[in-house]
Structure 1
Amino acid sequence: MHVNCLFFLAGILLAPGAALAVPAYTVADLGTLPGGGFSIGFAINAGGQVVGTSGVADPSSRGFLWDPATGMRDLGSLGRGSEAFGINAGGQVTGISFNANGVPRAFLWDRATGLRDLGTLGGDEREASSGADINASGQVTGASNFGPSSVRAFLWDPATGMRNLGTLGGGSFSAGSGINAGGQVTGTSDTAGGNRHAFVWDAETGMRDLGTLGGALSAGVDINDDGRVTGASITADGGINAFLWDPTTGMKDLGTLGGGSFSVGNGINAGGQVTGQSITSDGADLAFLWDGTGMFNLNDLIDPDAGWTLLSGNAINDAGQITGFGINPGGQGNAFLLTPVTVAEIPEPGTLALIAFGCIGLGLSRRRILQYRPSLSAFSR
């Protein structure tokens, strides 16, 4: 679900006689379902379809599927509301919905059959589960109760059902958060040492501990088809920083924006670009894009007259499109879609062009992500 090209630059230095294209994004408001007061985009597929959650006229929320041609569609629920967290290239969706008894359950949605309850690892109707991501084969990962006091990461397959992925050798908790085309899963698990660490699981080798950035905890959030993982980790100095983990080189600290002490990588694409959220030293929540050279404020890469404040980038596809959460010109928190464009060349030589647009902070996006993405519960236990 996630890019090859570079679409950003915080500052552009033009040498005499040079003319450089300025990368930028257009921003689209995805709106809400009828009667809704907010929406959040959580995932995007190769076709630019977005899923997330929207308020509706009643007190609950609904998972939505937004399509460039048809707009926003209510995915319904198993009884009492829903949230959509993952979408594959075929338009199948997974997430969480409360059933008629008020129990949260992982679901699989497609156009032909609607919402399907994926059950739980223990098969108990009173137990809870949540779907976090889905790959092109229709495999789903997430978390499920397993007995009265345990939560386990799972891999659900259309042919074989739900499989318990275990833990990193100790404790009672693991949760899957991202899955790639090969069926590799990332997420968070208790370790034998009593902490929670990011992991990668595959069918051949089982669960691998990805370590941390020097602190006690880490959480894997998304994984691309090369097996590279993004997420967040506590650092040696006590901050929480986004990371990029590579099977060859290990875990790299992606830093933060504005000297802050919090960032999280929420989405990674085939090219290794990461989008996420960072909190600056003055408390502002900002959506970011990291490209291998540094972390860039996405608010610096949209037209300032658009009137948006982008608070969190949640997913990025291989065309460079990003969805997430921000404040629109009317002051409402809505899902957005960024699409990369190339602005006309800058003809003026010897000019230092800095794109610097202000932004404000709002904690809603981060709080919702921490609440609904099981892996990040490692930081709030």
Structure 2
Amino acid sequence: MNRFKAVLLTASTLGLAMLAPLAHGQTTPAYTFVDLGTAFNLTAEATDINDAGQITGHTYDGTNMRAFRITPVNGTWFQGSGNINSLMALVTTDGTHPYSQSLGINKWGELAGQALGSGYTSPQNAFFWRTDLSGVKLSNVHSWAFGINDNGSVAGTIYPNKGGSLETIWRLVNGSFVATTIPRPTGSSGGIAQSINNLDQVVGYFDQSSGATIQPFVWLPAPAYGLPAGTTILPTLGTGGTALRINQTGSIVGHTFVGGQSQAALWTPNGSGYSVQNLSGPEWLFSSAYVANNPEVGALLTVVGTSRNTFGEDRAFVWDSATGMRDLNTLTVNGPQASVTVAKAVNKGGLIVGYYRPVGSTASRSFLLVPNATLPAATAVPASPSDLSGVNGSNQVSLSWADGSTDENGFQVRRSADGVTYKQIGWVAANTGFFTDNFEDQSYKPAYRYSYRISAFNVAGYSTGATLDVVTPGVPLAPSGLVVGTYSSPLRVRIGWRNNSNTQDSVVVERSENGGSFAPLTTLTDSTASSVGSIVYYYDAAVVGNRTYSYRLRSHSTNGSYSSYSAVVSATTPRR
């Protein structure tokens, strides 16, 4: 199937998809990917979505950060030819707070976040925006607001004199906000109130004074779930954790620390408190859950968040009790060349928002996932492609492979510069056996070894993949960042530099004495030649006092070529 087909998002397509019956064993619900960053033409991070489909977050144009709210009209997030700007409101605050950031939205379209001073430093104040987007500063001291409920109550933190934090709830009383501090347990030095539901139940975490652990908590204004009113430390699966969101039925999500890694967690009321569940599987190194929705009657609870797989790649995930944790990148019928990395929120209808980074960009872009599509069902990952080969071109590598399966939904293309950590650089549609890497991330280097991995995927996950090392043509990059220093006891000169080629098999060090001609000093073939990216050193002990020594280096590649010379550095040895 074509992963890159265009889909018109309207109320009719959304409603039909959510109501249409699915043939068991034949298809599985899937998503249409909407790149909100393209519509904004700004760096943007979507942070929350309400059940009406209103989206909030913040944009950044290189100078200004502004909170935003998008309101769909007639069931669509676009007007005209993909124009979203007429539906988006950029939030302002006041003269002393030129910047703003929004982290939560309630059903009325009211927002909670921060008003930020120039340079995103002082003053930083918790802020509340009404439906008409007029603003209210919640605190006159350094503070943050993270969550908001449908009553307009806000959860956040105050930092008196920028010291230890106070977990705080702001409630509307007679038209004004009144702050209440959440009691913390003995031994806690501070913490964050992250989320508040419509019962004014709050979750977050406490820092321990010893610094050993971070403890998740729930605060209840009245007895509930078999717990008394007040603060309760939630159970964990290891050494502490963080509670990030509580929904209207008391389900809590966040993460606990297991074996030194965070694992997405779900806390469920059990009549005598809470039980905790690890949402991750063995294929995920670590993960965190950000939101559990308030599902329709009869629907499953849906949790979204971010995770990192064994390849070191960050992936947005969706979880429910029927299918477990699944990579959202395998559940979209279209999508960006880069992977979707962070899912921040999901609403009652299953709409998901978050952000990712396009290939070759350091800026985040917001996305919306609409559950109006299907993909072929699968209970096992597809077979891996085979016969992977690569051809060098002008600043590009063309890859081809043999399709080894009939049940893939597409292929994922990864590249690594060290053979260990891979980064996704593209998706390819099913039944396709080629991809050209144009190095859109500007990482191309001559005479450099790149490792590629091509994996087939379907809704069950990714195949192991076919791998290939490709060495680009040309001469290697010269060593850079040369530094030099002298020592008197024993007398010697230390030269430091950074290697820039992973195909070099040696580094040639040349030396000049008192302005004379350069001559080879030594050829290094140990770790000082093979280490790439970090600073390495060589000590020249064949020197005498009160002489000026100059050094230059060049790399030799396994393809037989030499780099150009590095810059020259000089040092004068101490008089003896």
* Residue 117 to residue 55, structure 1, CA distance change in 2 (3 Å): same
Q: Are residue 244 (structure 1) and residue 318 (structure 2) matched?
A: yes
Q: Are residue 290 (structure 1) and residue 369 (structure 2) matched?
A: yes
**RMSD (Å), alpha carbons:** 2.7
* Residue 123 to residue 278, structure 1, CA distance change in 2 (3 Å): same
Amino acid across the alignment from 1:144: F
TM-score by length of 1: 0.67
Amino acid across the alignment from 1:271: G
* Residue 146 to residue 163, structure 1, CA distance change in 2 (3 Å): farther
Mapped partners of 2:279, 2:164: distance in 1: 32
Matching residue within 205, 224, 230 for 2:304: 230
Q: Are residue 134 (structure 1) and residue 196 (structure 2) matched?
A: yes
Give the deviation of 1:42 after TM superposition.
0.5
Contact 2:183 2:230 in 1 (8 A): no
Q: Are residue 119 (structure 1) and residue 183 (structure 2) matched?
A: yes
Aligned to 2:241: 174
* Superimposed CA distance per residue, residues 86-136 of structure 1 (whole angstroms, 9 cap, x where no aligned partner): 000100000111024711121100122512211323265xx1110111100
Matching residue within 184, 191, 198 for 2:264: 198
SS in 1 for 2:371: coil
Q: Are residue 183 (structure 1) and residue 250 (structure 2) matched?
A: yes
Q: Are residue 276 (structure 1) and residue 354 (structure 2) matched?
A: yes
Mapped partners of 1:136, 1:62: distance in 2: 23
Contact 2:91 2:133 in 1 (8 A): no
Amino acid across the alignment from 1:90: N
* Residue 213 to residue 97, structure 1, CA distance change in 2 (3 Å): farther
Give the deviation of 1:223 after TM superposition.
1.0
Matching residue within 199, 206, 231 for 1:162: 231
Amino acid across the alignment from 2:366: A
Contact 2:187 2:209 in 1 (8 A): no
Give the deviation of 1:235 after TM superposition.
2.0
Contact 2:33 2:370 in 1 (8 A): no
* Superimposed CA distance per residue, residues 245-289 of structure 1 (whole angstroms, 9 cap, x where no aligned partner): 112211121129532256111111111111011111112411000
Amino acid across the alignment from 2:129: W
* Residue 176 to residue 10, structure 1, CA distance change in 2 (3 Å): closer
Aligned to 1:52: 113
Mapped partners of 1:22, 1:82: distance in 2: 35
Contact 1:197 1:212 in 2 (8 A): no
Matching residue within 4, 25, 31 for 2:92: 31
Aligned to 2:327: 253
* Residue 186 to residue 33, structure 1, CA distance change in 2 (3 Å): farther
Give the deviation of 1:166 after TM superposition.
2.4
Aligned to 1:312: none
TM-score by length of 2: 0.45
Amino acid across the alignment from 1:208: Q
Contact 1:213 1:251 in 2 (8 A): no
* Residue 213 to residue 271, structure 1, CA distance change in 2 (3 Å): farther
Matches within 5 A, 1:10-25: 23-24=77-78, 25=84
Mapped partners of 1:242, 1:157: distance in 2: 31
* Residue 209 to residue 10, structure 1, CA distance change in 2 (3 Å): closer
Aligned to 1:96: 157
Give the deviation of 1:76 after TM superposition.
0.8
Mapped partners of 1:70, 1:243: distance in 2: 32
Aligned to 2:432: none
Aligned to 2:214: 151
Unaligned stretches of 5+ residues in structure 2: 1-9, 16-31, 36-74, 79-83, 223-228, 296-300, 374-576
Give the deviation of 1:241 after TM superposition.
1.0
Amino acid across the alignment from 1:221: Y
Give the deviation of 1:68 after TM superposition.
2.2
Please identify, of 101-110 and 268-277, the stretch whose mean Cα deviation from structure 2 is larger: 101-110
Give the deviation of 1:9 after TM superposition.
7.6
Matches within 5 A, 1:300-311: none
Give the deviation of 1:23 after TM superposition.
4.9
How many equivalent pairs are there? 276
* Residue 212 to residue 69, structure 1, CA distance change in 2 (3 Å): same
Unaligned stretches of 5+ residues in structure 1: 12-20, 295-381
Contact 2:97 2:123 in 1 (8 A): no
SS in 2 for 1:277: strand
* Residue 185 to residue 194, structure 1, CA distance change in 2 (3 Å): same
Mapped partners of 2:33, 2:250: distance in 1: 34
Amino acid across the alignment from 1:188: H
* Superimposed CA distance per residue, residues 120-158 of structure 1 (whole angstroms, 9 cap, x where no aligned partner): 23265xx11101111000000111124522211110111
Mapped partners of 1:186, 1:104: distance in 2: 22
Mapped partners of 2:164, 2:195: distance in 1: 20
Mapped partners of 1:254, 1:101: distance in 2: 39
